[in-house]
A = this chain, B = another copy of it.
């Protein structure tokens, strides 16, 4: 039987998982951030990633919907506010649509999600189901990829602005807002899992959850890479770029 880790050791193991498995390392992201993607590939990425954004409030609502800890529900409600916005402030989903608009995608197509890669849908749904079905500890831990998101967002913004003339700060407004939100959420979640994983088994469940979540994000990249880069086999019904956007 393994022993209980210190908080510092648990955090070190989490960061190690992120260093190896976070999707910043995926070849598709390297292409995207270094200007190697065609506009069609950028479109395919933004369109598929929209579904992830759109489902985040359902994931977060599902957590609140089975959480008996009022303080945790209040904390988690901030995420609903971030993503859905309110009458006066657009949320993250709305800002993501500025990106897909700016890339020339039809908004109704994007919102309908009818052009998604099936693997995108399945990966995102696996995430939502994980949060609905696992322990509260695992549900909270599943957002720990936020620990690594400020880095990917910084790299993405500078890379995309430098390399694609059709990418403007305005259409990247989603990413402007996210780093402080992600930082707040990651700090909260990391502290939560440190204090609520009180057995070696629970600590292992936290590590496993981060691996699961990295798999969700990574598999979305695999599907994009397979369909739109190599071998470039687009599944029936999925987004087909127009020639002019190639």
Q: Which residues of A contact B (CB under 8 A)?
A: 54, 57-68, 70, 73-74, 77, 80-81, 84-87, 93, 132
Contact = CB atoms under 8 A, between A and B. Distances in A.
A81 B77 contact: yes
As for how many copies of this chain the complex holds, the number is 2
Contact of A73 (B66, B67, B84): B84
A84 B74 contact: yes
A93 B85 CA distance: 25
Given A58-B66, A61-B62, A62-B62, 5 more contacts: A58-B64, A58-B67, A60-B65, A62-B66, A65-B132
A43 B68 CA distance: 23
| Chain A binding surface SS class | helix
B86 A73 contact: no
Can you list the 3 inter-chain pairs with the closest CB atoms, starting with the nearest?
A61-B64, A62-B65, A61-B65
Contacts of A80: 64, 73, 77, 80
B63 A61 contact: yes
A59 B70 CA distance: 13
Contacts of A85: 74
A77 B74 contact: no
Given A65-B63, A65-B64, A70 B84 contact: yes
B57 A64 contact: yes
A92 to B, nearest CB: 11
